[in-house]
A and B are shown apart, each in its own frame.
Chain A
């Protein structure tokens, strides 16, 4: 069988190698090569999406396990289930869009695209890896290009933002490293499939306190990535300083790695501890939702506002997954996908206006709907999706998260639901400040959104509408995997362990 997962993971890396061989003054050729490196993975991901067997519970497209380092029982082991498929599709799609959005970059083009493609490989690998060690390597490999992409191509405070991102993430991942080692020594494997078998956990790993410590280590690692309040402070800096395409990648894919990690590793490997801390996840989710929304409301910088709205929207995923109900779990993963799409749109939208006005001060615009009607239309679609208007995709996943959450954690869900109002408020207010009112005289000659920018926004907009009307497209895909995961975890609650 064709190793499609290895293909989508390593094809961009191949593209990076080709780009490094191209002469540095051949700008167009470098851009087209980059596009050629992300297109086949996107096509392959779409094919996976349609050929994925929705009625099968087991992992699909499995490759390996092939011994990589026999001395330590480390394997090359890739495979996907209903949890990973949406993420793989999201990564492939957003990478493709981000390459188009990078068309205007002209500083050190060669290095930019080489790093970008390396980043793509790292992200894809995280979502496909089934070996803990492999997962870790992909997780870390992604850090290096991200550091340079923010640090070289970023805004005025790029160096600070880059190092902060790097330090925060590394702090989390070293904790994961220790837990991974504990699993190796007391569970005797790196395979995430094998480790899910609780009877294999021996020695200290059978001690509940130790398991909770391990869970905490993993959770902090993933929480930093999500990011969860109070580990979120790297996010506004990194998102604001990064160039537009990289902000898109950061918000759309990197944040999902945190929630994906919780579902992929914390849930199946430590179900008892997950149950123990379910309430904690819900509370943190609630705080992130409300606090993120309030912070967003207070922002004057357009990009920072979107960054804080990410904190708020990722909180829904936590609330949903903490509920352990099928609705909540499905809602959480659907929210991960939807947020990826919507927030990509939002960051692209910020990029469009920033490229023209060269600032992001929300009070410095006004009346832009008049010279830029098409831009205002697509923005309104993205804003309404973000605030959860029925008929658009964000609504479905938020409602599912609330439904799941309401069953298990009534109070926290009720408090979280207030954010719907806050979100609507800041989104509409932002729209008003940019597009409505009298036209700011400085921008009478501002140019309308161009074809390339529309090309990046329209496909995402279509997905937002389609998934808003017919969410089963996505839900059918993940339902089986997620229900079996939630029932496997809930089983440990019943057993009272």
Chain B
């Protein structure tokens, strides 16, 4: 049991941090604003250090099979920790976050990271459901946390309603699966399915229902409706985190659930144990998701909504990669998630800076940003890098990510899906470039310079842009890390 606790060290560090944040709130209140982000950052850094310590330990299931320790879990903890640290940085001096109760904002952000981390290590349907709800509930609160903002409250309410429906459907799917197999442990489900006959339609139905919950977290079709409203209404720094963190966590559990419970290793990759048809379902969902995301993004004029639809499209690309079901695909998804976190947070950071300095987030207010000189040009250039990277154009990291995803598809012979994927990339160019066009081709409405944001933000924009280019030219290290981390423990 004590050994089990060792493996859970990273989560324990987060829990400790949350408790400390509570105490700090109790004793210091809102007077010392700087304490909370510092404490939360320290906790997240501590979590990553603990993760470094436990990573070399051999993979195992622990707590009576409720959770797993394996390479992929370690990978996702780093990703969540890094993403949350960036989110804290993004939240500094944000005009929206200033209106939130600061101590609880940072406490909830840390708790959200804990929830995502638990989701990534779940090995049991109950654990999966509970951590998914954990992540959702905290997301609802954070979305609605801007005091006195109708937009924020409305977004939170929509989020709750959609979320409630999705998780209800998911719970029903889980009960079906439990009824079929008599177990809730993911590896046991696989074992039962290999050796026993079950009704295939019922199995498919249960998978479809469970996919509702997961699809809702990653904003896949047909559970993407909440996404633009919530992204628009939530405080922007949190939106940024929402677009990468919970989405990555959703993919963590997607991979774990399908590959542990419903797949067996075949010659060239993973195969559907009972031929229940879920890989086809994933493929169809991916096509619908990316096409819908990209087409809907074309008409957007609010940058946060545009990025929301773009994030839906990216979920589609990732799902498409997952449909390839081979080792290449796992590596590609992990690689892409890292790159996606970097470029998407980068794009959001620019939006946040512009929103802080000019108080607008409408596309038309970006007119001539690149021609204002000084900071404006710098931001516009960085934004251009992020957007071209999101499109998937070399020499930026996003291209390498897509390169791996399409590679996985070609490897599995899914040529049709690959062609739909690349055509989607072409469509996405249109709306990403529209932003670039507005920033560089149009005249600025006035000649005023953009006031300098805090130094930390400028440095962060520069670093993220640098990483986006650097990983586009020299990504061997990251590819190796992703390759090593794609090991799942069954």
Residues on A close to B: CB < 8 A?
A: 69-72, 108, 136-137, 140-141, 143-144, 147-148, 151-152, 158-159, 162-163, 166-167, 170-171, 174-175, 177-178, 181-182, 184-185, 204, 213
CB atoms of B395 and A137 under 8 A apart? yes
- Tell me which of B24-32, B243-251, B407-415 binds A: B407-415
Contacts of A152 in B (CB 8 A): 440-441
- Residue of A163, A175, A184 touching B437 (CB-CB under 8 A): A163
Contacts of A204 in B (CB 8 A): 413
Shortest Cβ gap from B17 to chain A (Å): 36
Task: Knowing A166-B433, A177-B403, A178-B418, say if A71 contacts B395 (CB, 8 Å).
Answer: no
CB atoms of A185 and B407 under 8 A apart? yes
CB atoms of B440 and A148 under 8 A apart? yes
Contacts of A144 in B (CB 8 A): 388, 393
Contacts of A70 in B (CB 8 A): 476
Q: Which residue of A lies closest to B399 (CB)?
A: A140
CB atoms of B422 and A174 under 8 A apart? yes
Interface residues of chain B: helix, strand, loop or mixed (majority):
helix
9 A–B pairs (Cβ distance < 8 Å), ordered by A: A69-B476, A71-B480, A152-B440, A163-B430, A174-B423, A174-B425, A178-B419, A181-B410, A185-B410
CB atoms of A170 and B393 under 8 A apart? yes
Residues 360 to 413 of chain B near chain A (Cβ within 8 Å): 371, 388, 393-395, 399, 403, 406-407, 410-411, 413
A148 to B441, CA, bound (A): 8
A163 to B441, CA, bound (A): 12
Task: Knowing A72-B479, A137-B395, A185-B411, say if A177 contacts B433 (CB, 8 Å).
Answer: no
Interface residues of chain A: helix, strand, loop or mixed (majority):
helix
Shortest Cβ gap from A201 to chain B (Å): 14
Task: Knowing A70-B476, A72-B479, A148-B440, say if A178 contacts B429 (CB, 8 Å).
Answer: no
Residues 412 to 449 of chain B near chain A (Cβ within 8 Å): 413, 415, 418-419, 422-423, 425-426, 429-430, 433, 437, 440-441
A108 to B372, CA, bound (A): 12
- Residue of B411, B415, B426, B476 touching A167 (CB-CB under 8 A): B426
Contacts of A185 in B (CB 8 A): 407, 410-411
CB atoms of B410 and A71 under 8 A apart? no
Q: What 16 new A-B contacts, CB under 8 Å, besides A178-B415, A204-B413?
A: A69-B474, A69-B476, A136-B394, A144-B388, A151-B437, A151-B441, A159-B437, A159-B441, A162-B437, A167-B426, A167-B429, A170-B426, A171-B426, A178-B406, A181-B406, A185-B411
Task: Knowing A140-B399, A177-B403, A177-B406, say if A71 contacts B479 (CB, 8 Å).
Answer: yes
CB atoms of B479 and A69 under 8 A apart? yes
Contacts of A151 in B (CB 8 A): 437, 440-441
CB atoms of A141 and B394 under 8 A apart? yes
CB atoms of A166 and B429 under 8 A apart? yes
Check: B63 CB closer than 8 A to any chain A CB. no
Shortest Cβ gap from A295 to chain B (Å): 26
Check: B23 CB closer than 8 A to any chain A CB. no
Check: B483 CB closer than 8 A to any chain A CB. yes
CB atoms of B433 and A163 under 8 A apart? yes
Check: B475 CB closer than 8 A to any chain A CB. yes
A167 to B479, CA, bound (A): 29
A390 to B282, CA, bound (A): 63
A136 to B371, CA, bound (A): 31
A141 to B480, CA, bound (A): 25
A144 to B483, CA, bound (A): 31
Q: Which residue of B lies closest to A139 (CB)?
A: B394
A151 to B423, CA, bound (A): 23
